Structure 1
Amino acid sequence: MREPADQASAMIILGPNARSLMMVRLLLRVTAIGEGAMGLAFLLVPNLPALILFGQRLDSALPENIGRFVGAALVALGVACWRAAEDVESRATSGLILAVLIYDVIAAILLAYAYLGPGLAGMGLWVGLISHLVLAIWCVASLRYGRLATTGK
Structure 2
Amino acid sequence: MIRVLDLAAFAEMATGLALVVVPSFVGQVLLGEALTGPAIPTARVAGIALIALGVACWRNSGLLGMLIYSAAVTLYLAYFGLTGSAGVLLWPAVAVHAVLSVLLWRSRN
Structure 2-normalised TM-score? 0.52
Q: Output the amino acid matched with 1:46.
A: P
SS at match of 2:3: helix
Write the distance in 1 (CA, Å) between the matches of 2:3 and 2:48. 23
Equivalent residue for 2:48? 72
Write the distance in 1 (CA, Å) between the matches of 2:13 and 2:39. 20
Structure 1-normalised TM-score? 0.38
Unpaired runs of at least 5, structure 2? 63-109
SS at match of 2:47: helix
Unpaired runs of at least 5, structure 1? 5-24, 93-153
Write the distance in 1 (CA, Å) between the matches of 2:53 and 2:36. 26
> Higher relative contact order at CA 8 Å, sep ≥6: structure 1 or structure 2?
1
Write the distance in 2 (CA, Å) between the matches of 1:79 and 1:29. 9
- Give the % identical residues: 39
In angstroms, what is the RMSD of aligned CA positions? 2.0
Equivalent residue for 2:16? 39
Write the distance in 2 (CA, Å) between the matches of 1:58 and 1:40. 16
* Deviation (angstroms), 1:53: 0.6
Q: Output the amino acid matched with 2:5.
A: L
Q: Output the amino acid matched with 1:48.
A: F
